Amino acid sequence: MLNCEIKSAVPGLVWPAIPAAGKASNRLALCRLFDDSQWWPAARLQASQYRQLQKVVKFAVATIPFYRERLAGLINGHQPTTPEEWLALPILQRKELRNSGHLLKSTCIPPAHGQPFQIRTSGSTGMVVEVTGTALTNLFWQAFCLRDHFWHQRDFAAKLAAIRYVKPDGQPNRQGTTATAWGPATAGLIATGPAVLYSILLDIPYLIKCLEMEKPGYLLSHPSLVAGLARYCREHDIRLPFLREVRTLGESLPDGLHELCRAAWGIPLIDMYTCQEAGYLALQCPDHEHYHVQSENVLLEVLDQTGNPCGPGETGRVVITTLHNFATPLIRYELGDYAEVGPDCPCGRGLPVLRRILGRHRNLLTLPSGEQRWPRLGYESKLLDIAPIELMQMVQRTVNDIAVRLVMPRPLAPDEEARLSAFIQDNLGHPFHLSYEYVDTIRNPINGKLEQFISALNTVA
């Protein structure tokens, strides 16, 4: 599992290294446990989850007013021990969490869970929520980050470049921010190469020049930015031979991005599924492009419209329960995301499989017939055949009207607008009325994310 140099806390001892007691050694110990539990049969993983869930539910009912009222009458002293009993518990909606957040926070956090801290989501769903985390939940967050590194056998000596949202004071810093190590997950435990952070708001040609100057082995960013970088490199015959892997997070992965990264740079793309409220939800399998649910961190359910679990090949809404947060336990919390369940993985891991994460309810296209579908266009590689379009976002305002927001150096020419309209209408499967808007940016001002399709018809739950 360990293809890295462990930092030793004992002077004069470099091998076998003894990590520092406390946070560093706890992270390593958890990774060792994860290395075992990932191979457990699904039934054993589920049984262990329900053992932990009994502790969570008992604590929540005893110490948190919201759950005392919500669950006490349902469980009557009996903790749910089967999936059937679990399905009888009510689902916590995002709106409830926002409106009753203070009532979901425990005033009796176990001292051993460490210092509490506040977590505030960015509001990319249209609704900001706040929860309390602890040093313990942060420990698990970092341990799952390490698992991702170990699964994909990263070379810790290489340089890491991140292109993320950086809260600017005016214009984004064009010089980047440097660090001597990768970050908190490896701190005090693993010797790493340096890291550099650039703002996602910088233009693509400049960011390519920065990458050529920095020569990182690994690149971390949002899928939409990675797609822009890869397309630019292909169009201008720019190779980045120093890159070994691209990591993505924070947005639904568009169709074809794995292939685009291989075509542009000859390297794999590794995606991850996280949320601020609960940390790591699923990581990409080391051997395949689908995801493994991080069952040691959350119970993740994918439910159909009737509230029953989806089977392989079926798509449903994501509902999670945190296993270790006793400050703000989230019990059957509906994130607003949709995911497709996959079959058991050939790699042999017992961790459940998600074939893909599709986005949020507000990203559903509604046809005049009332039918809803995912508008996965896969248009990224074709837009530039029509016009110099840097970014595009569609907002459905009525069942017949869609606003197309474009970031580009000039307005569309009449023939370009006609071609783009035909392309969009063909892909969406209906002759929607399209109106065009030209903007400087369409990234979320809080976190730099890009949602390619938003429906104003769908209210946020």
The 3-state secondary structure of 94-138, one letter per residue: HHHHHHCHHHHCCCCCCHHHCCEEEEECCCCCCCCCEEEEEHHHH
| Tokens, residue 254 | 């568009």
**Domains of the chain (ranges, CATH numbers):** 1-362 (3.40.50.12780), 365-455 (3.30.300.30)
pLDDT value for 145: 97
* Whether the Cβ atoms of residue 284 and residue 261 lie closer than 8 Å to each other: no
Q: At what angle do helices 257-265 and 223-235 cross, to 10 degrees?
A: 40
pLDDT value for 461: 36
164 three-state secondary structure: strand
pLDDT value for 263: 95
188 three-state secondary structure: coil
Q: Which helix (H) or strand (E) holds 59?
A: helix 42-63
225 CB contacts (<8 Å, ≥6 apart)?
Answer: 163, 200, 207, 450
* Whether the Cβ atoms of residue 147 and residue 272 lie closer than 8 Å to each other: no
Low-confidence ranges of the chain (pLDDT < 70): 1-3, 8, 14, 16, 75-79, 81, 122-127, 168-172, 361-362, 374, 376-381, 445-448, 458-461
pLDDT value for 460: 38
pLDDT value for 248: 95
| Distances 200 to 221, 291, 438 between C-alpha atoms, Å | 8, 25, 20
Predicted structure pTM score: 0.84
DSSP state of 74: H
Phi, psi torsion values for 250, nearest 5 degrees: 90, -15
* Whether the Cβ atoms of residue 374 and residue 368 lie closer than 8 Å to each other: no
* Whether the Cβ atoms of residue 122 and residue 447 lie closer than 8 Å to each other: yes
Using alpha carbons, select from 276, 267, 275, 314 the residue that is nearest to residue 293.
275
429 CB contacts (<8 Å, ≥6 apart)?
Answer: 367, 373
pLDDT value for 16: 65
Alpha carbons within 13 angstroms on the beta-carbon side of residue 165 total: 15
- Cα separation of 445 and 356, whole Å? 26
| Tokens, residue 441 | 């940016």
- Cα separation of 403 and 214, whole Å? 39
pLDDT value for 115: 95
The DSSP line for 385-434 is: HHS--SEEEEEE-SSSEEEEEEE-SSPPPHHHHHHHHHHHHHHHTS--EE
291-293 and 298-303 strand pairing: unpaired
Using alpha carbons, select from 277, 349, 333 the residue that is nearest to residue 92.
333
116-120 and 130-134 strand pairing: antiparallel
